[in-house]
Structure formats: C-alpha cells, structure tokens
Amino acid sequence: MTSVQFNHTENEIVTEHQFGLVFSHATIGIVVTDSHGTIINFNQHAEKQFGYGKEEMLGKKVEMLIPQEYHLIHIADRSGFYDHPSTRQMGSGRDLFAIKKDGTRFPVEISLSPYSLGGETFVIAFIVDITIRKKSEDTALRQKEELERITREITELNAQLEQKVDARTRMLRETLSELERSKEELSEALENEKHINELKSKFVTLASHEFRTPLSTILSSVFLLEKYNDQTAEPEQRMKHIRRIRNSVLGLKSILDDFLSVGKLEEGKVKNTEQEINSSEIQKLVNGVTEDMEQLLKAEQRIIFECHSFVNIKADTEILKNIIINLVSNAIKFSGDNSTITIVCSADERELAIAVKDQGIGISREDMKHLTERFFRAGNAANIQGTGLGLHIIGKYLELIHGRMEIQSELGKGSCFTIYLPTL
C-alpha cells in the first residue's frame, strides 16, 4: 500500500468511526480541517448553518465560510495556531462572522480543539450561531440606556418636585423601585449568560477529552483488523479487536446519551408520564436492564438480582429504567474484573427501595458532597471514561418521579446507591 493510499484509508476511518456518532447528535456546527485549512468533515448542523451540503465542502478551503475581507487575517491566524495548537476560543475579544452559501453573514462563536493522527495535526472547530444572542444583547443595551435615561429624568424631576404633595412623592418612589427591580433582572440575565458560556466551554473541553481515547482505540483496532485480514489470522485476535471496537462505540454512545439527557432535562422536555407499576413489572424491568447490560460486563463480572418486594408504585417506566441503567452502568464501569454487582429490591409500607451495590473503587467522603453536580468527577475516577453527568441526571430524574437517593461508600471497598420511591 502506498503512503497516499494509506492516508486516504486513514481519513476514511477517521470520518466513519471517529465522528459518525458525534455528528449525528451534535446540536452545534462542527467542521474538521487539516493543517492546510482543507475541510475533511462537515456535520449536519453545519450544513443547516451554512446552506452547503457536506459533499460540496469536502476538500474545500475553510475560508469559503469566512467573509472575503477576513481571508488574509484568517490564513495568518491559522498558521500561528498550528505552530502552537491548543484547545481555546477563536478570536478572543473580537466579533467573528461567518458567511452562508447565499452570501448572508451571521455572528458566530468558535472553539478550536486540535488533535494529531498519523503524524498530522487536525483541528475540530465547534461553531455556534449567536445571532439570537446578539439581538438579545442589543435589546438589553437599549433597555439599559433607556433605564439610565429614565433614571436621569426622574432624578431631575425629583429635584424640581420636592415641594409637591405626598401622593406625587409616593408615585416617584414606586417608579424608582420598579427601575431597581429591572436593573436586578438585567443583572441576573447577564449572569445567566455568563453561566451558559462557562457550561459551553466545559462541554467543548470534556467532549474533546472523552472522545479522543475511544476514537483512538477504534482506529488502532481497525488498523490491526486490516493487518489480520487473511486466512492465517487467529480468530481470537480478530475477536479481541472487534470487542475493543464494540466497547469503544458503546462508551461513545453512553457519553452522547448523557449529553442528550441532561440537555432535555435542563430544557424541561422530559415529562413524567406516571402509571401504576406492580411488583412483577418491577422485576421484569430490572431483569431487562441486567440482560441489556451484560454486553458491558468486564471479564468474570456478574450481576445478581434479588427481589423481596411485593408492592405497587406509581412512576414513569422509562424514567425508572434510565435511572437503573445509569446506576448499573456506573457499577460496571467503576468495578474491576471478577467482581459482583448486586441489585436488591425491598419495601416497607411507605417506600420501594432499589439498591445497586458494587465492589469497585469507592468514593471519598469529600467527593460524596459533590456527586450530583454537573461535570463532577471523583478524584480517584480521573482515568476512567465518563462525563460527570450520570448522577446529576439520576438526581433530576428522581425529582420528576418524587424519589430520593442515598449513597454509602468507602474508598477501595465499593459503593451502594439506593433509590427510594413512594408506594401506593
């Protein structure tokens, strides 16, 4: 195989296995370029943003998406970026604009994340259309100026009307109070905007870090499968790399599911469709989860399910299933080979309890205070793939179905997560 053919095959692998799942779920535009500024991938959201089809953009220079007068500046900036690549915001302190196929300009925020493959550096650009936000900022600025103008007028009027009757004075005081409330609301809105930007930055950093390892695993396994693609190859070697690909893809799916779930929960799109669930249906639901999770088990891991519950509850079946999936997935992820994960259902006259116990790495007392915070990773879990969203999602789900959770854990001795749901 020539070097040109190898590079071509490598790019196809990157396109098919690195970005297929990410691109199909991303809610921001993602464009991937090589060190020459040539576009090598272009996701569906970017197609909507710019009006170009993916096939129209592959092989084209990224400057096609930038207004003409910024081309020379962008080329110089691109060269400087490749000299010192790092994950960062593009054009810090400057207003950035992109241009659609029909010539329409629109303001954007762009985050850049470099990665190396086959000795060459590529860049992933995460593109957010901020047209609506810019309009909101303009509106907020006009409102601020209007508020300042009104404040000045009222101050002047107050000086002139000091001798007016009490009724007039009370009216002015009410007006000033309203202005103060408006000022506080504006301040709160600006603080929320800052918080959203911080979350976006955390998302870009987390996505870049968490996707890199499984995608590299997929790429190396596919390369080795090509190497073993002959009649003399050991079947066990081929299956080993197929399992690595499968586990990496499942890991990526889990990450994407977390991002999508927390997005829907934060936007209020998850509804609690309550229905009565009897004890046999609860057992069937948990058994179904354990069967589905068997494909994630590590070597010699096993799941034991015990049910001592004969009560009925009222809850959303899909939400309850997602909670148990998250708990069992965590137990598998944070436990080693040849370990047991135990699921126990029990109940009293008030509550159904579902406990998921593992023999994993455990959690420190200090880390337990922050487990349900967004993006939080325990100190001893830094080298284990994850988003830091799982327990945050579980907490939000439990709020919807009026449940609660207790956590017992000791470093090095495992953890037990118990959820409680009211019985009928």
Reported as a single tens digit per residue, the pLDDT across 54-68 is: 999 999 999 999 999
pLDDT tens digits, 143-176: 998 888 988 888 888 777 677 767 777 887 887 7
DSSP string, 85-123: --SEESSTTS-EEEE-TTS-EEEEEEEEEEEEETTEEEE
pLDDT tens digits, 223-276: 666 666 655 556 676 666 676 676 666 656 656 666 666 667 677 777 778 889
Three-state helix/strand/coil letters over 384-397: CCCCCCHHHHHHHH
Quote the CATH superfamily of domain 1-129: PAS domain (3.30.450.20)
Q: What is the CATH T-level fold of the domain 134-268, as seen in this structure?
A: Helix Hairpins (1.10.287)
Going from N- to C-terminal start, the domains of the chain cover 1-129, 134-268, 275-422
Q: Is the pLDDT of residue 192 over 80?
A: no
> Is 422 or 22 the better-scoring residue by pLDDT?
422
Q: What is the CA radius of gyration of the chain?
A: 28
Reading the block at residue 205, the tokens are: 């950093």
The sign of the dihedral angle between the CA atoms of 156, 159, 163, 165 is: positive
> Is 300 or 192 the better-scoring residue by pLDDT?
300
Q: Is the pLDDT of residue 339 over 60?
A: yes
Q: Which of 5-19, 95-109, 183-197, 224-238 has the lowest mean pLDDT?
A: 5-19
Four-CA torsion 42, 48, 50, 51, nearest 10 degrees: 110
Model pLDDT, residue 328: 94
Q: Which of 103-107, 260-264, 330-334 has the lowest mean pLDDT?
A: 260-264
Model pLDDT, residue 370: 80
Percent of the chain with pLDDT over 90: 33
Q: What is the CATH T-level fold of the domain 275-422, as seen in this structure?
A: Heat Shock Protein 90 (3.30.565)
Q: Is the pLDDT of residue 4 over 50?
A: no
For the chain, give the mean pLDDT.
Answer: 81
Model pLDDT, residue 343: 95
Identity of the residue numbered 155? T
Q: Which of 115-124, 213-222, 371-380 has the lowest mean pLDDT?
A: 213-222
Model pLDDT, residue 60: 94
Q: Is the pLDDT of residue 51 over 70?
A: yes
Model pLDDT, residue 171: 82
Helix (H) or strand (E) holding 420, with range, is strand 414-422
Model pLDDT, residue 3: 46
* 204-210: average pLDDT: 53
pLDDT tens digits, 67-86: 999 998 888 888 888 888 88
Q: Is the pLDDT of residue 99 over 80?
A: yes
Strands 29-33 vs 39-42: parallel, antiparallel or unpaired: antiparallel
Model pLDDT, residue 22: 63
Q: What is the pTM of this model?
A: 0.46
In degrees and rounded to multiples of 5, residue 61 shows phi and psi of -75, 145
Which residues, listed in sequence order, are joined to residue 112 by a DSSP beta bridge?
88, 125
